[in-house]
Amino acid sequence: MKKIKYLSFTLLIALLIMAISCTETSEGFLDDKSEGITIDQIFSDSLMTKQYLATVYWQIPSVLYAPRKAGWFLTDYEDYSSATDDGKEVSNNRQRFSPAFMKADFTQNGINADFEHFLNLWTSMYSNIRICNQVLESIDGAPLTKQTIEGMKLEARFLRAFYYFHLLRNFGGIPIVGDNTLSPFENYDLPRSSFEETVDYLATEFTYLSTSLPDVQNLQEYGRPTKGAALAMLVKLFHYAASPLSNGGNVGSGSNRLLVGYDDFQTSRWQRAKDAIDNFYSYNNEKNYYELIEEANGKGFYTATTSRSSKERIWFWLVDGVGGNTWPHSSLLPKSRSGSPKIVPYHELTEAFPTKDGVDIRDKDSQNKYYTSPGRYNEDNTLYDPDEPYLNRDPRFYYTFLYNGAMWRRLTDGSKEPVYTYRGAPNDGIFSSGSPTGYYYAKICKTDVIGNQSNSEVRGTGLAFIRYADILLMDAEVMTEIDYSKNKTKIEELLFKIRKRAGILVGNDSRYGIPLNLSKEEMIDFILNERRIEFVIEGGNRFWDLQRRKLFTEMNNKWSHAAVWEKIGEDNGEIFFTWSIQPVEQHYFQSKMYHLPIPLKEYGSAKGKLLQNPGW
């Protein structure tokens, strides 16, 4: 790739940074040997060889949860959803990703192809790809067993494809370097592959891996990729490629049109996604490795994201209190629980959750729509009371949010007491030292843990990229797109499974609150809303759903809101409140933002051989 010229220096720097990161977080990898170390030295030592590949694992959260600068997620949490109508990043630092989708930051700061985040993302992903290729090139000479060497090669290929997939979603077609190890001191000149070529390359890689990786990874290898993970990545890849943005999305024109999607729409692309789903089912039916976790009162939803040995996780990254860190609790919980929250949910997200009978709380015009004004309620919902908005909700609501009056563990004796977010409340009051939206995330946090807990008590918390519920909901969407009238019964059966596991009441009609006679468009909206509820702050799913369905356009100039509670009195220890909805963030979007621009430094060094994305 005579292109990627600027990678020459930045790749070398990235390698050194990741080596330092591992020294701090992975039991002293390289220790004092990191200065002046060579590739030959690394691959002549069994421990360093393993930890060299481990540096690439360490960057997985930069894909899932920290979309700007690799390696910072444990101390400076950010999620792609903070660029959506789901939640707000608290700090609003311009160098972060989400401000690019906030009107004031975009218009005032002039964010363009020179925005630092775009460069960081591009370079960090190619740094990871380079390490994977270095492993494939050099590991045969390492003092390891043949079985270990072959296993690490497969892991490197999987991780390489995983990072390519992330580049694909952000940029469209990208330069594919194959097995070539990019030297830090060479110039390269490889043009971008088309979107279709990139998808086909990744399909070939994940197909090979789905026949070569082990079925399970046990003991200390737990969390490494498996056959199931490769099969699930094929589903994710084809599901993304079949979606409206890419499948005849009419983005761009001329020579750059095919870089970001297919030239026309074809239903066969949805069928390819369905075939991948059926292949996953066939494999899992034989092996029974993955399933929805069902526990009383919807607790399976909680267990799916907090239990170390969750059968629902397919491709994931374990935290295990790495390096003594108490993430995610330290980065999500409120100050009163020794947290320092980096992102907080908007009120709109809380309204997406139905009542415990599965009935939407929003009025008909607002249900399953995007960026509508909150506070318009469904008068036919007999369980919802606007004066007591947190009663009788979907059980997933209580595992997802902390709100005014929500119970959480105390700092002192471990008993639970209310978290108060009302205006003027000590520690967690809105607009003072607390959340600017009146809410905090409880999702992926263990209910008996606080922000400064010892890392042994955080063990098991992890970042799920794909879990079994995702496969089911992708299947429902795919079948709706292929032939809704033919597949309607099967689609509803999948949704019943999700809602039953959530703990929603079955109802007299046995439909878990799912309306009858939805049109195809209404069913797509319903599925997307169910995905929104199910995958809050999991792998940026809301962001990617809005992107691939071309729904971000509707966000432009719309406001997201806070729930502002006011204390109006107290009697015998009982506190009385009133509340209102107030706007807190205006969003910004232009069609060109569906894809990130090739970083200006990269684009400028390519001498015309690297085409820019539409609109940039």
Q: Quick one: pLDDT at residue 143?
A: 97
Contact 209, 161 (CB under 8 A): yes
Same domain, 48 and 150: yes
Same domain, 71 and 187: yes
Contact 474, 242 (CB under 8 A): no
CA 241 to chain CA mean position, Å: 17
> Could you give the CA distance from residue 236 to residue 398 in angstroms, rounded to a whole number?
28
Total of domains in the chain: 3
| CATH number, residue 100 | 1.25.40.890
pLDDT higher than threshold 90 for residue 282: yes
- Amino acid, single-letter form, for residue 259: L
Grade residue 5 by pLDDT with cuts at 50, 70 and 90. very low
pLDDT higher than threshold 60 for residue 185: no
β-pair type (559-571, 574-586):
antiparallel
Same domain, 28 and 145: yes
Query: 204-245 pLDDT, tens per residue?
Result: 999 999 999 999 998 788 889 999 999 999 999 999 999 999
Same domain, 349 and 406: yes
Same domain, 303 and 257: no
Reading the block at residue 352, the tokens are 């997406």
- Could you say which of 254, 273, 289 is where a domain stops? 289
| CATH number, residue 461 | 1.25.40.390
Query: 305-354 pLDDT, tens per residue?
Result: 888 888 999 998 876 544 445 777 888 899 988 888 888 999 999 999 99
How does 265-292 read in b/e, with b if 16+ C-beta sit within 10 Å? beeebbbbbbebbeebbebbeeeeebeb
The residue-averaged pLDDT of 374-385 equals 88
Long-range contacts of 264-270 (CB under 8 A, 24+ apart): 267/481, 267/482, 269/238, 269/241, 269/242, 270/242, 270/478, 270/481, 270/482
Same domain, 111 and 69: yes
> Could you give the CA distance from residue 575 to residue 487 in angstroms, rounded to a whole number?
51
Same domain, 596 and 533: no
> Could you give the CA distance from residue 408 to residue 337 in angstroms, rounded to a whole number?
8
Grade residue 10 by pLDDT with cuts at 50, 70 and 90. very low
The residue-averaged pLDDT of 414-422 equals 92
Same domain, 99 and 7: yes
In order, the DSSP letters of 257-289 are GGGSS-SS--HHHHHHHHHHHHHHHHHHHHH--
Same domain, 207 and 71: no
Same domain, 375 and 430: yes
Partners of residue 433 on adjacent β-strands: none
State the DSSP H helix or E strand holding residue 563, giving kind and residue range, or none if neither: strand 559-571
pLDDT higher than threshold 50 for residue 17: no
- Could you say which of 249, 267, 289 is where a domain stops? 289
Same domain, 16 and 128: yes
Range of the domain at 242: 196-289
pTM metric for this prediction: 0.90
Contact 401, 389 (CB under 8 A): no
Same domain, 564 and 587: yes
Q: Quick one: pLDDT at residue 602?
A: 78
- Could you say which of 529, 550, 571 is where a domain stops? 550
Alpha helix segments (H runs only) across 81-141: 103-109, 116-138
pLDDT higher than threshold 70 for residue 261: yes
β-pair type (416-419, 401-402):
unpaired
